[in-house]
Amino acid sequence: MSTYAEAYTDGREQGRRDRAREVEELTEALQRIAQWCEAYPTEVFHEPSPEECQRAHKLLTNNGMTLDAFSASMARHCLHGIGNIARGALGEK
């Protein structure tokens, strides 16, 4: 085989290995995200009833706070963790 053909073949093989490694890394990131999505099972942390939400709202607003602020904070926490996983898999900081 000529030097050009060998280099071409080696380059293609390296490209395949690089793509396989990238797919593996992205798959691992997706698996970590899937784990995050199961972090608070309803078997452990029940889903609040509408009445419980109303009581929490009343308690918070009576003390100058809102349930929306707590909900947004929890959502940001979750999205921050998922974003870190995604950015890591994409090679970002």
Whether residue 31 lies inside any domain: the answer is yes
What does the alpha-carbon distance between residue 82 and residue 33 come to, in Å, rounded to a whole number? 6
Whether residue 44 lies inside any domain: the answer is no
What does the alpha-carbon distance between residue 70 and residue 60 come to, in Å, rounded to a whole number? 10
Give the total number of structural domains in the chain. 1
Q: What confidence tens digit (pLDDT) does each residue in 21-72 have?
A: 999 999 999 999 999 889 899 999 999 999 999 999 999 999 999 989 999 9
Global confidence as pTM: 0.67
Which SS3 state, helix, strand or coil, does residue 72 take? helix
Q: How many C-beta atoms lie closer than 10 Å to residue 53's C-beta? A: 13
**Helical spans, DSSP H, in 1-93:** 3-36, 50-62, 67-89
Q: What is the pLDDT of residue 59?
A: 95
Q: Which domain holds residue 28?
A: 3-39+49-89
pLDDT category at 1 given cuts 50, 70, 90 is low
